[in-house]
Structure 1
Amino acid sequence: MKTITVLLAFFAITMAKKLEERFAWNVMEYDWPNSDVMEHYIKTGKYIKDNNLPLGLEVWGDKMFITVPRWKAGVASSLNYIDLNSKDKSPKLRPYPSWEANELPIEGDAPKLEDRIQTAAGRDHAAKPVAVGDGLKDNSTIISTFRVQADECNRLWVMDTGLADILGKPNQIAPPAIVVFDLKTDQLLRRYDIPKEQIKEDTFFANIVVESDADDCGNSFAYVPDLGSYGLVVYSLNENKSWRVKHNFFHFDPLNGDFNIGGVNFQWTDGLFALAIGDKKSDGTRDIWFHPLASTKEFVVSNKVLQNETHVTGLNYYYDFKLIGDRGLNGQSSAEVYDKKTQNIFYTQLNKDAIGCWNTNKEYRPDSAGLVDSDSNALIFPNDLKVDKNGNLWVLSDRLPNFIYKTLDNDDVNYRIMRGTTSEIIKGTPCEN
């Protein structure tokens, strides 16, 4: 009887720390301006409900940003938001910054080259001319984005791939670009096209991680991993310049490219994908942890190494990158984020339908890490996760393998956003301080 009581107490603790479902959708719908617009989008094929899959999320104020990449034709808007305080369990998406900015350009819409100049001024740096990418109506246009990040300076950073209908008839409408918006005014601050020489044959930019300081907003850096060609693009906002870094640690592990998720078996060769930025140390540096998606290993490098263009594009930087450990069998992960409050890194566990944690004060080993939640229904392919300023971990799961290789059942819940307080969900795990 005593054993049963102990087991019941254990399961009660386990259930108490699980992530809670905050939003859920069978299919993604939009908050249309009016019924005529909706009918037009449906009739012209601009909106095919089955083709709109949410992938990335971010939280700023009472907004939750949700990205919908243009995997297939019929995505109404790629960059969107919902009201975080909405009582609706399945709120409709609102395009950001506008419907117009998320419309795909029609051939002939783009202005002539001499007209493709728009001034974008940030409050921390002088106004500079910004060239509009080929095929765009204007700089605010978002073709297709996977991940976004809000920074310490109330700016939203968007990695726009410029590529539409990825799984159908791929159309590179515009060059891959970093797009920055002022979240207080919803106005464009900058659009920066990734230089051609930093784009390789199999390049695919699906993530962006930003390092910024509220006391020095101009001195910000964006890190953009290239999962297809195994590189990293580092962008300096102050210099309005980027450089490409290459390293063996950015490649996928050929022994960890096999996935079994939601009843789907497939093989991926995705390289560098996830990054997390740590606290500032006494010497002013920060650790940047990273890993390829098709891998179980974790690595680290100093931000000052990546920010030194001359050094990191030279010959003698290899040993500045360090292997810190391994997540173990089936430990492949699509995203990670550092939580200042608990000094933990939270990361997705794709093959385990789970969310993992690692206390950065401990060694990186399978037995020193933990799972804060695992659910073979609600967490099928946890794709992205973020920690907000209030210490909440937000997780988006979207059954992506079924979407790509099979079909999704519209009578079932396919997309979820889960939430948990970081200090609570690590209780009872090796990640607890």
Structure 2
Amino acid sequence: MSALTILLIAILGHRFVDSSIVYQWHALDYEWPNSSAKQEFIKNGSFIIKNNHISGIKVYNESVYVTVPRSRKGVPSSLNVVVVKDGKAILRPFPSWAMQTVGDCSAIQYSQSLEIDPLTGWMWIIDTGLQRIADPGQYLCPPKLVIYDINKDKVIRVHHFPEAVAPKMRTFLNDIVVHKISGKPAFAYITDPGTTRLVVYDFRRDKSYTFAHRSMLAESGPSTIIDYDHTQFETHTPIDGIALSPDFRYLYYCSLASMKLFRVPTSVLAQENGDIGTSVKDLGSKVSQTGGMMAGSKSLFYGALGLNAVYKWDFTKDMANAASVDDVTMTTQTLVAKDDTNMKWVDSFAFDTNGYLWFTVNNLPSFLRNTMDFVNATAPFNMFIWKVYVDEKNYL
């Protein structure tokens, strides 16, 4: 199977679907403000090459936005847009270098994921704060949600999560989806594996609150072990992946340490004291554990971490075949793309407007184990951005 282009018989019946690697990196580099800035950042420890690792992705107007989580020191910019200079893909801090300043709590400190409304260009950035890299006694930046208008180049709103919602020494705001009502933003739903809760942000009231449920917990036993590159990677991460149905009626979520997929009606989440306990539905098991996932117009796409693949659940088909919407289970699961060499740990998803599904691959266990080779040009690439034609569009 080619490292650059593969042809797969996949989700469109008997049609061939093209999949390709758009970008690949041994190590990340940035568009620096001047010729001496990079060396200064390296010298003072603000840029440690081996600590820079892509995670989240979104696509808007043919621009590709990615996050580089500040899980370790030496990450100069946590939110970026990919640009190509002299034939090399590098990261341009977004919206500016100033907005990526470590220790400036008005800037973006630690962004794992984001969402972009394709109709308005509003970027919803979750910033889990700075506690993950702060030394004892140093500053702590509280977690926040930044809503930024890409087209007007301005901040629309900043919501600082109260301590009761996202305690700054425990929270880890991981992934986000946006719920619109009558074409206007109404809610954002955010997974928080740090507190094992779901965070709800009510845009109209500028207020946030949380829900907890046993379905958000990590499982024990075999579900905690993911087959990765001929080894076993153990995880106990709870609620992680999240997706929203295109009719905005249901929120889907899963724990990383689980095979299960769950669903809860958004009508329940719209009520701060809604009864989530009687509303959660177990939809069945995926083919593998999942980190990132995303709903399109007909299907839910997810990374099958133990299989080096992307799968989809055709919820449109299964809902049509179910006796009622309450009886639906995750029956129709189909392989979308697979590459045992270059799809090790599919992390995050995005749609463009041409029917392509984009996703990041980042070999996360190797990063966590410090076994990546960032220097040797003949070594395998460490990080990838793929796109696959699926003939669907963003749930928004």
TM-score class, shorter-chain normalisation, is 0.7 to 0.9
Contact 1:234 1:306 survives alignment (8 Å): yes
Can you list the C-alpha shifts for 1:261-289, whole angstroms capped at 9, x where unaligned? 13443321111111111122xxxx51221
**Within-5 A mapping of 1:214-225:** 216-217=183-184, 219-225=185-191
Contact 2:78 2:108 survives alignment (8 Å): yes
Q: What secondary structure sits across from 1:42 in the alignment?
A: helix
- Within the candidate set 102, 105, 128, 1:104 is matched to 102
Contact 1:264 1:401 survives alignment (8 Å): no
Q: What secondary structure sits across from 2:368 in the alignment?
A: helix
Contact 1:380 1:399 survives alignment (8 Å): yes
Partners of 1:192 and 1:12 in 2: CA distance? 43
CA deviation after TM superposition for structure 1 residue 167, in Å:
10
- Within the candidate set 287, 294, 319, 1:337 is matched to 294
Partners of 1:35 and 1:335 in 2: CA distance? 37
Q: Where does residue 325 of structure 2 map in the other structure?
A: none
Partners of 2:137 and 2:291 in 1: CA distance? 23
Q: Where does residue 298 of structure 1 map in the other structure?
A: 261
- Within the candidate set 252, 257, 265, 1:289 is matched to 252
CA deviation after TM superposition for structure 1 residue 88, in Å:
6.8
Contact 1:353 1:376 survives alignment (8 Å): yes
What is the identity, as a one-letter code, of the residue corresponding to 2:195?
A: S
Contact 2:237 2:255 survives alignment (8 Å): yes
Q: Where does residue 306 of structure 2 map in the other structure?
A: 351
1:235 aligns with 2:201: yes
What is the identity, as a one-letter code, of the residue corresponding to 2:241?
A: A
Q: Where does residue 416 of structure 1 map in the other structure?
A: 384
What is the identity, as a one-letter code, of the residue corresponding to 2:345?
A: F
1:207 aligns with 2:200: no
What is the identity, as a one-letter code, of the residue corresponding to 2:310?
A: I
CA deviation after TM superposition for structure 1 residue 365, in Å:
6.6
What is the identity, as a one-letter code, of the residue corresponding to 2:290?
A: S
Bigger Rg over Cα: 1
Q: Where does residue 345 of structure 2 map in the other structure?
A: 381
Can you list the C-alpha shifts for 1:11-47, whole angstroms capped at 9, x where unaligned? 8747943521111111000011211211211111111
1:323 aligns with 2:285: no
CA deviation after TM superposition for structure 1 residue 170, in Å:
10
1:72 aligns with 2:31: no
Partners of 2:8 and 2:389 in 1: CA distance? 17
Contact 1:205 1:224 survives alignment (8 Å): yes
Distance 1:233-1:53 versus aligned 2 partners, 3 A rule: same
CA deviation after TM superposition for structure 1 residue 366, in Å:
7.5
Contact 2:57 2:113 survives alignment (8 Å): yes
Distance 1:366-1:185 versus aligned 2 partners, 3 A rule: closer
Q: Where does residue 237 of structure 2 map in the other structure?
A: 270
CA deviation after TM superposition for structure 1 residue 348, in Å:
0.5
Q: What secondary structure sits across from 2:50 in the alignment?
A: helix
**Within-5 A mapping of 1:153-168:** 153-163=120-130, 166=133
CA deviation after TM superposition for structure 1 residue 224, in Å:
1.0
Q: What secondary structure sits across from 2:155 in the alignment?
A: strand
Q: What secondary structure sits across from 2:367 in the alignment?
A: helix
CA deviation after TM superposition for structure 1 residue 372, in Å:
1.0
Partners of 1:295 and 1:89 in 2: CA distance? 41
Contact 2:268 2:279 survives alignment (8 Å): yes
Q: Where does residue 254 of structure 1 map in the other structure?
A: 220
Distance 1:257-1:73 versus aligned 2 partners, 3 A rule: same
1:405 aligns with 2:395: no
Partners of 1:339 and 1:160 in 2: CA distance? 25
Partners of 1:258 and 1:229 in 2: CA distance? 21
Partners of 1:366 and 1:235 in 2: CA distance? 28
Q: Where does residue 143 of structure 1 map in the other structure?
A: 109
Contact 2:283 2:330 survives alignment (8 Å): no
What is the identity, as a one-letter code, of the residue corresponding to 1:319?
A: T
CA deviation after TM superposition for structure 1 residue 303, in Å:
1.2
- Within the candidate set 144, 149, 162, 1:195 is matched to 162
Normalised by the size of structure 1, how large is the TM-score?
0.79
Q: Where does residue 3 of structure 2 map in the other structure?
A: none
Partners of 1:165 and 1:89 in 2: CA distance? 34
Partners of 2:347 and 2:260 in 1: CA distance? 18
What is the identity, as a one-letter code, of the residue corresponding to 2:162?
A: P
Partners of 1:265 and 1:291 in 2: CA distance? 20
Partners of 1:322 and 1:57 in 2: CA distance? 28
**Structure 2, unpaired ranges of 5+:** 1-6, 319-327
Partners of 1:279 and 1:243 in 2: CA distance? 23
Distance 1:389-1:286 versus aligned 2 partners, 3 A rule: farther
Normalised by the size of structure 2, how large is the TM-score?
0.86
What is the identity, as a one-letter code, of the residue corresponding to 2:55?
A: L
Distance 1:90-1:296 versus aligned 2 partners, 3 A rule: farther
Moved more, 267-276 or 345-354: 267-276
Partners of 2:70 and 2:131 in 1: CA distance? 5
Distance 1:48-1:263 versus aligned 2 partners, 3 A rule: farther
Contact 1:162 1:172 survives alignment (8 Å): no
CA deviation after TM superposition for structure 1 residue 423, in Å:
2.9
Can you list the C-alpha shifts for 1:203-255, whole angstroms capped at 9, x where unaligned? 32111211235x543x4211111113211110011100011111111111113
Contact 2:348 2:360 survives alignment (8 Å): yes
Q: Where does residue 20 of structure 1 map in the other structure?
A: 20
Structure number with the higher helix fraction is 1
Distance 1:365-1:48 versus aligned 2 partners, 3 A rule: same
Q: Output the aligned Cα RMSD.
A: 2.4
Q: What secondary structure sits across from 2:90 in the alignment?
A: coil
Partners of 1:13 and 1:376 in 2: CA distance? 16
**Structure 1, unpaired ranges of 5+:** 1-10, 106-134, 425-433
Q: Count how many residue pairs are aligned between Structure 1 and Structure 2.
A: 366
Can you list the C-alpha shifts for 1:1-20, whole angstroms capped at 9, x where unaligned? xxxxxxxxxx8747943521
Partners of 1:171 and 1:260 in 2: CA distance? 38
Can you list the C-alpha shifts for 1:144-193, whole angstroms capped at 9, x where unaligned? 11111102432101110112654987967211111111111221111111
